[in-house]
Chains A and B, each alone.
Chain A
Amino acid sequence: MRDRASQQAALAALGQRALSGADLPGLLDEAAAVAARELEADHVAVLERTRDGEGMLARACVGLPEGVLGGVLPVEPDRLARDLGAASSLTARIGSRFGAIEAHSGEPEHFTADDAEFLDGVAAVLAAAGERAGHEDLVRDSEAQFRELADTTPALMWMTDAEGDVTFVNQGWRRFTGGTEIAGVTFASSAHPDDREETVRLWTEAMRRREEFSCEYRLRHAASGGYRWVLERGTPRFSDGEFVGYVGTATDIHERRTMEEALRASETIWRELADTAPAMMWTTDTEGAITFVNQGWLRFTGTTFQEEMGQSWALGVHPEDAETVLSTWDEALAERREWEGEYRLKHHTGEYRWIHDRGVPRIVGGTFVGHVGTAIDIHERRTMEGRLLEVYEREHRIAETLQRSLLPERLPPIEGVALAARYLPGARGAAIGGDWYDVLERPDGRVALVVGDVAGHGLRAAASMGQLRNAFRAYGMVEASPAEVVARINRLVMSGVEQVMATVLYLVLDRESGEVAWSAAGHPPPLVIAPDGARFLEGGRSVPIGAADPAVFREATAILPPGASLLLYTDGLVERRDTPLDDRLAELAEAAAQSGGELDELCEHVIAAVLGETEPGDDVALLAVRPLPVADKEISLTLPAEPGSLAQLRRRLARFLHATGASELEQYEITLTICEAAGNAIEHAYGPGDATYEVEVSFDAGEVTAVVRDSGSWRDKRGEHRGRGLRIIEDLMDDVAVERADGGTLVRMRKRVGEDRAA
């Protein structure tokens, strides 16, 4: 005999393994083994839909012939069961896309409804794990691709966020400077002290206008122990029109600078030097005709010295770049000033390569004698920049999709509470943060609310947020104490490989009594907005999740005054560099107190008042909740005529009866009698199809009246059991009447309440 408790325990263990980050293949194997054992099945198979959707790949098997594992089956229900000649089978879909898990038995009617429920549970665990593995693959792929690209280029590369803080430098940069500095430090810290101020000034200026930026300065060079001239160039990055930072490169132009200095001393020395330099160099006369190109230039173009003389150099410029190059050059020549351009020049191999070319006017004895120029091959850098931007934008899009899929615009409706939520992406950086909110109904009838903020931005933060959100959903269901939920998740996070840090406010609300219990892990306090003003709920504060283990997590409780609302938020709403936190909190409380009416209005008002016109620096999540008083003097329900509806009916009755002031015993007895009458209706309904029954309950002048109506007719006493049901109804209620009419039965019952308590 299979044991339901054992199935539940096995399911819980599997869920725990999935939550603690077991690898997907291992988890699939384990799921197959657990299912085979708990279902006493002859075979179990976990099937994953192939990428093209045309087949089902057998990912894990128990008891199946060799060759099935790793094979692809056609997408056909029960195909495997038929092929194997199983007498009975059970199948559960894994998520909406992933696939299915199947169990077979040689015995007919082997599986029970409990078995089906168990297998659904296994499938749900696998679906969540599969989805998560998918997200993690995306994160890994995208980041790995980015780093690989950046690290294989010989160029020196860096990236910043929207505030100009460096978030990434590649291996090339680290090798060059010998520095280990990576994040947060501006690159100018490795600049020569004499150049630093000017570099920072130019950089800040460009940043403010979000323009391309380029400057030359001396950068620390580890191999020589000194400094080398580099050309630094930054390109602003935009995503969906939003500025997200810069990507930049530095090119070693030390030789060019040295050459320019040499030229000032003597042209002869310069020409000698030029021919030994690897850079491409040239000089022109006052009309702009080429008078000299060095060996480096000829090596690049594969032409001869004579061919390059005069105006012919322009012939090698890519047709698409020619117009810009020639017009800017003509202008510079006419005004006898410096000229600079990036363009594609025909290489001796026949392909066009990007070069950076720069000419400066030569003044000899106060007279302009022409330009001297140096060009550097920047082809790798140019192509790399394009690819990096592509990768970066892809990452941003994935993060955004992930965030959207995890934060539903519309909260699930929960009876007895009004809810509203907002999410505002921050203006900075990758813009996608790790803020989230969530609401769920606990089995004990209380409502759990979460607002959290995962440290960091981008894809990884969004993925971590998804994992934490799932962890709260899981632990929130089984664990009643907020501090314990937070502590368990902290343990989970600390035992994981990934370093995750998050602030979280987890709160459980009793809709009936207005009692709230919460734990604030490094998170700002929730705000209560009562008719007579707004105040913060202090207490229950602890360290953030992922900060320490073991850590002590506290919880606190309070009672919400009638009609009060609660506002949970992330610190993006109240944190600003220029104002102390306390002032911002006071501002928030004041704004919330002034807002009346609906929760949507409250959210909008608070956002407008606290953030004003400015875009939030960080992302912001808001969650507002208000327990709705049971104002109804009556309830009226139409329920499906099946036993499963009774649990739902009891929960609805519990809320209603609690509000009448009935004692616990009275509540139980009224619930029992109504459900007994409903049980009769269910047993006598015509078939299980779409039959329904109706329940109406009202409360007036200390008396509860209930009516249960169905469309069937009660036969007299079908055995002792039904007899007991009627006996219960008659004995526990003050007054019972059964009417048979219109092919249906109506039971009307009345009972006075509140007398037990008074007694």
Chain B
Amino acid sequence: VTAPAEIVLDHRDDSVVARISGEVDMSNAAYVRDQLLASMPNEAIALVLDISATRYLDSAAIEVLFDVSRRLARRRQELRLVMPPDSPLRRVIELTEVHTAAPVYDSLEEALS
């Protein structure tokens, strides 16, 4: 059984919005990383990762966030996270200091402005 996750991509003017729903763990983290990196055209300036509908993230998924941020930075692109304030994921994101690699926004509008 592989953890079921679904990524929906939305190409905006100068950024790509990726919504991840479902669960990301060590069984599918590499897949998620590949998909995210492949979704970014050269001309985009930011990848906005919306995890509002993500039910589960483990340390392998956190590692993917750092990895994607690092790789995008080399291409002069930025990773931004969208997570509602009441998300159960918040404590883990803060604990692992993901905000040092990707700014965290409360809503998609804020992340895009």
- Asked whether B96 lies within 8 Å of A727 as measured between CB atoms, the reply is yes
Residue of B nearest to A644 (CB): B1
Which of B31, B34, B66, B92 has the largest count of A CB atoms less than 10 A from its CB? B92
- Asked whether A679 lies within 8 Å of B60 as measured between CB atoms, the reply is yes
CA distance A644 to B2 in the complex (A): 5
- Asked whether A443 lies within 8 Å of B4 as measured between CB atoms, the reply is yes
- Asked whether A676 lies within 8 Å of B58 as measured between CB atoms, the reply is yes
Q: For residue B7, which residues in chain A have a CB less than 8 angstroms away from its CB? A: 4-5
Residue of B nearest to A719 (CB): B63
- Asked whether B4 lies within 8 Å of A665 as measured between CB atoms, the reply is no
- Asked whether B23 lies within 8 Å of A647 as measured between CB atoms, the reply is yes
The minimal Cβ–Cβ distance linking A651 to chain B, given in whole angstroms, is 9
Q: For residue B4, which residues in chain A have a CB less than 8 angstroms away from its CB? A: 443, 647
- Asked whether A725 lies within 8 Å of B95 as measured between CB atoms, the reply is no
Within 8 A of A (CB), among B1-58: 1-4, 6-9, 23, 25-27, 31, 34-35, 38, 56, 58
Known pairs A1-B38, A668-B56, A679-B58; A646 contacts B92 (CB<8 A) = no
| Interface presence of B62 (CB below 8 A) | yes
Within 8 A of B (CB), among A688-725: 720-722, 724-725
Q: For residue A644, which residues in chain B have a CB less than 8 angstroms away from its CB? A: 1-2, 27
- Asked whether B92 lies within 8 Å of A672 as measured between CB atoms, the reply is yes
The minimal Cβ–Cβ distance linking B86 to chain A, given in whole angstroms, is 9
CA distance A728 to B92 in the complex (A): 7
CA distance A505 to B89 in the complex (A): 38
Interface size class of B (residues with CB under 8 A): 20 to 34
| Interface presence of A732 (CB below 8 A) | yes
Contact with B along A650-670 (1 / 0, CB 8 A): 100000000000001100110
4 further A-B contacts with Cβ under 8 Å, apart from A1-B34, A643-B2, A668-B89, are A5-B6, A646-B3, A646-B58, A724-B63
- Asked whether B38 lies within 8 Å of A724 as measured between CB atoms, the reply is no
Q: For residue A672, which residues in chain B have a CB less than 8 angstroms away from its CB? A: 56, 58, 92
- Asked whether A727 lies within 8 Å of B1 as measured between CB atoms, the reply is no
Residue of B nearest to A730 (CB): B95
| Interface presence of B74 (CB below 8 A) | no
Q: For residue A728, which residues in chain B have a CB less than 8 angstroms away from its CB? A: 59, 92, 95-96
Quick one: which of B8, B25, B31 contacts A647, CB cutoff 8 A? B25
- Contacts across chains A and B counted by CB atoms under 8 Å: 85
Known pairs A728-B96, A732-B95; A646 contacts B25 (CB<8 A) = yes
Q: List 9 A-B contacts (CB under 8 A).
A: A3-B38, A4-B7, A645-B1, A646-B3, A665-B91, A668-B56, A672-B92, A720-B66, A721-B62
The interface of chain B, by Cβ under 8 A from chain A, is 1-4, 6-9, 23, 25-27, 31, 34-35, 38, 56, 58-60, 62-63, 66, 88-89, 91-92, 95-96
Known pairs A646-B27, A720-B66, A724-B59; A669 contacts B91 (CB<8 A) = yes
Known pairs A647-B3, A668-B56; A724 contacts B25 (CB<8 A) = no
Q: For residue A311, which residues in chain B have a CB less than 8 angstroms away from its CB? A: none
Quick one: which of A8, A646, A668 contacts B88, CB cutoff 8 A? A668
- Asked whether A731 lies within 8 Å of B59 as measured between CB atoms, the reply is no
Interface of A is mostly: helix
- Asked whether B59 lies within 8 Å of A679 as measured between CB atoms, the reply is yes
CA distance A582 to B15 in the complex (A): 63
Q: For residue B34, which residues in chain A have a CB less than 8 angstroms away from its CB? A: 1
The minimal Cβ–Cβ distance linking A150 to chain B, given in whole angstroms, is 54
The interface of chain A, by Cβ under 8 A from chain B, is 1, 3-5, 8, 114, 117, 443, 643-648, 650, 664-665, 668-669, 671-672, 675-676, 679, 682, 720-722, 724-725, 727-728, 731-732
- Asked whether A675 lies within 8 Å of B25 as measured between CB atoms, the reply is yes
Q: For residue A645, which residues in chain B have a CB less than 8 angstroms away from its CB? A: 1
Q: For residue B60, which residues in chain A have a CB less than 8 angstroms away from its CB? A: 679, 721
Q: For residue A5, which residues in chain B have a CB less than 8 angstroms away from its CB? A: 6-9, 35
CA distance A324 to B7 in the complex (A): 82
Q: For residue A648, which residues in chain B have a CB less than 8 angstroms away from its CB? A: 1
- Asked whether A664 lies within 8 Å of B88 as measured between CB atoms, the reply is yes
- Asked whether B3 lies within 8 Å of A721 as measured between CB atoms, the reply is no
The minimal Cβ–Cβ distance linking A38 to chain B, given in whole angstroms, is 15
The minimal Cβ–Cβ distance linking A685 to chain B, given in whole angstroms, is 13
Q: For residue B88, which residues in chain A have a CB less than 8 angstroms away from its CB? A: 664-665, 668-669
The minimal Cβ–Cβ distance linking A74 to chain B, given in whole angstroms, is 35
Known pairs A646-B3, A675-B25; A721 contacts B59 (CB<8 A) = yes
- Asked whether A727 lies within 8 Å of B6 as measured between CB atoms, the reply is no
CA distance A5 to B4 in the complex (A): 12
Residue of A nearest to B25 (CB): A646
Q: For residue A8, which residues in chain B have a CB less than 8 angstroms away from its CB? A: 6
CA distance A688 to B96 in the complex (A): 29
Residue of B nearest to A668 (CB): B88
The minimal Cβ–Cβ distance linking A717 to chain B, given in whole angstroms, is 12
CA distance A661 to B38 in the complex (A): 42
Q: For residue B23, which residues in chain A have a CB less than 8 angstroms away from its CB? A: 647, 650
Q: For residue A676, which residues in chain B have a CB less than 8 angstroms away from its CB? A: 58-59
- Asked whether A682 lies within 8 Å of B26 as measured between CB atoms, the reply is yes
7 nearest CB pairs, A to B: A643-B27, A725-B59, A721-B63, A668-B88, A724-B59, A644-B1, A647-B3
Which of B27, B35, B66 has the largest count of A CB atoms less than 10 A from its CB? B27
The minimal Cβ–Cβ distance linking A5 to chain B, given in whole angstroms, is 6
Q: For residue B89, which residues in chain A have a CB less than 8 angstroms away from its CB? A: 668
CA distance A725 to B8 in the complex (A): 27
- Asked whether B58 lies within 8 Å of A675 as measured between CB atoms, the reply is yes
CA distance A620 to B55 in the complex (A): 42
- Asked whether B96 lies within 8 Å of A724 as measured between CB atoms, the reply is yes
Q: For residue B1, which residues in chain A have a CB less than 8 angstroms away from its CB? A: 644-645, 647-648
- Asked whether B31 lies within 8 Å of A4 as measured between CB atoms, the reply is yes
- Asked whether B25 lies within 8 Å of A643 as measured between CB atoms, the reply is yes
CA distance A648 to B50 in the complex (A): 25
Known pairs A669-B91, A728-B96; A647 contacts B2 (CB<8 A) = yes
Known pairs A643-B26, A648-B1; A114 contacts B31 (CB<8 A) = yes
- Asked whether A679 lies within 8 Å of B95 as measured between CB atoms, the reply is no
CA distance A206 to B8 in the complex (A): 70
Q: For residue B26, which residues in chain A have a CB less than 8 angstroms away from its CB? A: 643, 646, 679, 682
- Asked whether A650 lies within 8 Å of B59 as measured between CB atoms, the reply is no
The minimal Cβ–Cβ distance linking B79 to chain A, given in whole angstroms, is 17
The minimal Cβ–Cβ distance linking A443 to chain B, given in whole angstroms, is 7
Residue of A nearest to B7 (CB): A5
Q: For residue A668, which residues in chain B have a CB less than 8 angstroms away from its CB? A: 56, 88-89
CA distance A648 to B2 in the complex (A): 9
CA distance A732 to B88 in the complex (A): 12
Residue of A nearest to B32 (CB): A4
CA distance A648 to B23 in the complex (A): 12
The minimal Cβ–Cβ distance linking A53 to chain B, given in whole angstroms, is 33
Q: For residue B95, which residues in chain A have a CB less than 8 angstroms away from its CB? A: 727-728, 731-732
Q: For residue B2, which residues in chain A have a CB less than 8 angstroms away from its CB? A: 117, 643-644, 647
Residue of B nearest to A680 (CB): B59
Residue of B nearest to A645 (CB): B1
Q: For residue A675, which residues in chain B have a CB less than 8 angstroms away from its CB? A: 25, 58
Residue of B nearest to A117 (CB): B2
CA distance A645 to B58 in the complex (A): 14
CA distance A682 to B25 in the complex (A): 13
Q: For residue B8, which residues in chain A have a CB less than 8 angstroms away from its CB? A: 5
Q: For residue B6, which residues in chain A have a CB less than 8 angstroms away from its CB? A: 5, 8
Which of B1, B35, B58, B96 has the largest count of A CB atoms less than 10 A from its CB? B58
Known pairs A643-B25, A720-B63; A650 contacts B92 (CB<8 A) = no
